[in-house]
Amino acid sequence: MTEASGRQGDDPPEGRTPAAPRGSGPLLDVRDLVVHHGQLRALSGISLTVYPGEVYALIGANGAGKSTLLRTIAGLHRPTSGSVSYEGRDVTGLRPEKRAAAGIVMVPEGRRLFPSLSLEENLKVGASYARKGPWNIERVYELFPWMKERRAQQTAQMSGGEQQSVAIGRALVANPRVLLLDELSLGLAPVIVQRIYAMLPQVLSSGITVLLVEQDVSQALRVATHLQCLLEGRSMLEGTPAEVTRAQVEAAYFGADVASGEHPPETPPLADGSNALWPGSTPSSRAC
Amino acid sequence: MAWVNAIVQGLLTGGLYALFACGLSLLFGVMKVVNLAHGDLATVAGYIGVGIIAVTRVPVLWSIPIVVVLMAVLGYVLQRSLIQAAITRGELTTLIVTFGLSIIIENGLQQFFTANSRGLGVGDSFITSSFSIGSQVVIAWFNLAIFVLAVVVLLALQQFMTRSRYGRLIRAVADDREAAQLSGADYRHVFGIAAAIAFGTVAIAGICDGMITTISPTIGTDTILLFAFASVVIGGLGSLWGTLLGGVVLGVAQAIGAQINPAWEQLAGYLVFLLVLVIRPQGLTSRGAAA
């Protein structure tokens, strides 16, 4: 099955309520993106449109193609076909460093800090080709106050959550217009994830638009203004968190045909009685 | 006292070896390129010096900055074209490309300059004047000057790598090329700058070598490259001071070997090299290989 089926993301965003005034055009426009890793087709025609001020969440299971999509938008993968437009300009062929300098900055999966550099040097590298804007190293120290005292330390000695914060800081000092966050929660305890996501309001209020990838669906729904669910390189569901039901998300996540209205399969329960998609979540914690 | 003299002479020679080696270490540390043409680049620099002095009649010492700039530009261009193309095709390709470069350089030099050796005359008064400590330790001012120059170059390089924006970017790219790209850095440009520095340092070493002794088209591979490799391995990769230590250890070992028997000069150097490989394969400075 290679044709894209069950997609709902191709239509213009009717009923979409962008956070910014309606008059502004899309910041990021991805059209029919097909990406191969060698022989393997990782993305089969994904489209998405991100408006200024949004928090756009890409959710999906392992191997759904979320990270590939984000990396392609950042310029690290060349798509087989399809296009990526930024601020109305086609950037499909632009090198990753040019995109970063233009304002598409990614926090890569696994942090990817520079291990032989100190914390502050990591931030300085991030600021090397920065656009003009509100963020600088001092402001990152205000956002994460613990950093100032430990700025001379090598990041390899830091905890996963601290490293993730440094990676976010390194991206912020470049003054992105759109910040791509790849699996911030990966390998981190839930309480640490909460603490890291606490920086999001300040990032958004500085005018940065966020496109994020999350495996932790409840976390994604908590912060997102718009979401798209991927499965095996295809789009399964798109909408605002208010529009989609929990059953729809579960179906899209695990692969039932949502469009046909077929009953979604039981989600496998975890040993502690919570379930795979909503670990420990309560309905109120998912309210956006 | 003869032994002390041998050690002092070896130490001074070690500075020059470190100067040969630091560019080799930098290229490997940053872009994982084992530059088999590194020694020949030193020879090329020496011959460019010979050519510039013959044509423009500038004083010998003035030729150093000119040659360094020329070689740095050559390094950047060569990196952005030939070596980058090889890197894209894999690490083994860089080995073959630099090996080919080495052969081309040696044969090119033989074609244009013949196989005869040449020197860069500094002016007799400076090169022959010396001072002595005690009765047997005789230090030539010129050798001492080259040792000091080597230390100053390494110190400057160290400062550049730790304090400057491009030094930081070079270390970042060496750590994680892709993450550096995500911060807006074009790693190919950063590689080019690293290559320019490596070519510049080996140019200084090549001219100094031409002033101390003589250069001929084949010494690049026959001695310089081997001494540079030995210095890097003895000192440990990724540390500039390790490279200086490696050069000095190699120089002292050679001098002591020569003191025992003039035929053992090179043998003694390589014995120490093998000894370090067996006992401390990460090199004398414990930082280990660059990431």
Contact A129 B183 (CB under 8 A): yes
- Report whether pLDDT(B73) > 60: yes
**Per-residue model confidence (pLDDT) at position B282:** 87
**Chain B interface test: which of A78, A120, A128 (most B C-beta within 10 Å):** A128
Instruction: Please provide the DSSP assignment of A127-180 as one string.
Output: HTTPPSSS--HHHHHHHSTHHHHTTTSBGGGS-HHHHHHHHHHHHHTT--SEEE
Q: Is residue B140 part of a domain?
A: yes
- Report whether pLDDT(A262) > 60: no
Measure Cα distances from B140 to A49, B9, B12 in Å. Answer: 73, 9, 10
Confidence class of residue B287 from pLDDT cuts 50, 70 and 90?
A: low
Q: Is residue B185 part of a domain?
A: yes
**Per-residue model confidence (pLDDT) at position A275:** 52
Which residues lie closer than 8 Å to A195 by C-beta, 6 or more apart? A161
- pLDDT, one tens digit per residue, over A125-179 is 999 999 999 999 999 999 999 999 999 999 998 999 999 999 999 999 999 999 9
Contact B168 A128 (CB under 8 A): yes
Distance of CA B100 to the CA centre of its chain: 19
- Return the residue of A nearest to B290 by Cα: A116
- pLDDT, one tens digit per residue, over A207-238 is 999 999 998 888 899 999 999 999 999 999 99
Which residues lie closer than 8 Å to A20 by C-beta, 6 or more apart? A51, A52, A53, A54
- Report whether pLDDT(A287) > 70: no
Mean pLDDT of chain B: 92
Q: Is residue B127 part of a domain?
A: yes
Element (H, E) at B235: helix B225-235
Chain B nearest-CA distance from A157, in A, is 16
How large is the greatest C-alpha to C-alpha distance in chain A, in angstroms?
57
* Chain A residues within an 8 Å CB radius of B176: 112-114
**Per-residue model confidence (pLDDT) at position B114:** 87
- Report whether pLDDT(A266) > 60: no
Residue B133's DSSP bridge partners are B137
Confidence class of residue B124 from pLDDT cuts 50, 70 and 90?
A: low
Facing residue for B184 by CB, picked from A101, A112, A121: A101
Residues, chain A: 288
Distance of CA A273 to the CA centre of its chain: 29
Q: Is residue B50 part of a domain?
A: yes
Most confident stretch, A100-109, A185-194, B213-222: A100-109
- Report whether pLDDT(B52) > 80: yes
**Per-residue model confidence (pLDDT) at position A23:** 52
Neighbours of B124 (CB within 10 A): 8
Confidence class of residue A271 from pLDDT cuts 50, 70 and 90?
A: very low
**Per-residue model confidence (pLDDT) at position A282:** 43
Q: Is residue B259 part of a domain?
A: no
**Per-residue model confidence (pLDDT) at position A246:** 85
Contact A128 B181 (CB under 8 A): no
Angstrom distance (rounded) from CA B188 to CA B105: 24
Mean pLDDT of B213-218: 91
A·B CB contacts under 8 A = 78
Angstrom distance (rounded) from CA B14 to CA B20: 10
Contact A112 B168 (CB under 8 A): no
Chain B nearest-CA distance from A182, in A, is 13
Confidence class of residue B286 from pLDDT cuts 50, 70 and 90?
A: low
Distance of CA B171 to the CA centre of its chain: 20
Three-state SS across A68-118?
HHHHHHHCCCCCCEEEEEECCEECCCCCHHHHHHHCEEEECCCCCCCCCCE
- Return the residue of B nearest to A173 by Cα: B183
Q: How many domains does chain B have?
A: 1
Query: Which residue has better confidence, B136 or A116?
Result: A116
Torsion of CA A273, A276, A279, A281, to 10 degrees: -90
* Chain B residues within an 8 Å CB radius of A124: 165, 168
Query: Which residue has better confidence, A120 or B212?
Result: A120
**Chain A interface test: which of B170, B175, B182 (most A C-beta within 10 Å):** B182
CB B99 within 8 A of CB B37: yes
Confidence class of residue A16 from pLDDT cuts 50, 70 and 90?
A: low
Q: Is residue B222 part of a domain?
A: no
**Per-residue model confidence (pLDDT) at position A104:** 97
Percent of chain B residues past pLDDT 70, beyond the cut: 96
Contact B182 A128 (CB under 8 A): no
Q: Is residue B279 part of a domain?
A: no
Domain encompassing residue B38: 22-217
Facing residue for A126 by CB, picked from B165, B183, B186: B183
- pLDDT, one tens digit per residue, over B155-178 is 999 999 999 999 999 999 999 999
Query: Which residue has better confidence, A268 or B117?
Result: B117
Q: Would you give the end-to-end CA distance of chain A in angstroms?
A: 35
Closest CA to A128 of A175, A163, A197: A175
**Per-residue model confidence (pLDDT) at position A286:** 37
Angstrom distance (rounded) from CA A182 to CA A70: 7
- Report whether pLDDT(A281) > 50: no
Chain B nearest-CA distance from A52, in A, is 21
8-state DSSP, B83: I
Which residues lie closer than 8 Å to A165 by C-beta, 6 or more apart? A144, A147, A196, A199
Q: Is residue B226 part of a domain?
A: no
- pLDDT, one tens digit per residue, over A54-93 is 999 999 988 899 999 999 999 999 999 999 999 999 999 9
Which residues lie closer than 8 Å to A45 by C-beta, 6 or more apart? A4, A7, A32, A33, A34, A82, A234
* Chain A residues within an 8 Å CB radius of B291: 115-116
CB B60 within 8 A of CB B123: yes
Most confident stretch, A144-148, B137-141, B286-290: A144-148
**Per-residue model confidence (pLDDT) at position B178:** 96
8-state DSSP, B263: G
* Chain B residues within an 8 Å CB radius of A171: 182
Task: Give residue for tokens 């740095």.
Answer: B72
Measure Cα distances from B16 to A56, A246, B19, B252 in Å. Answer: 58, 71, 5, 12
Confidence class of residue B232 from pLDDT cuts 50, 70 and 90?
A: very high
**Per-residue model confidence (pLDDT) at position A279:** 56
Chain B residues with at least one Cβ partner in A under 8 Å: 165, 168-169, 171-172, 174-176, 178-187, 290-291
Confidence class of residue B130 from pLDDT cuts 50, 70 and 90?
A: confident
Q: Does residue B91 sit in helix, strand or coil?
A: helix
Q: What does the block give as tokens for A138?
A: 């001092």
Facing residue for B175 by CB, picked from A96, A101, A116: A116
**Per-residue model confidence (pLDDT) at position A163:** 97
Chain A residues with at least one Cβ partner in B under 8 Å: 74-76, 95-97, 100-101, 105-106, 108, 112-117, 121-122, 124-126, 128-130, 170-171, 174
Angstrom distance (rounded) from CA B230 to CA B272: 9
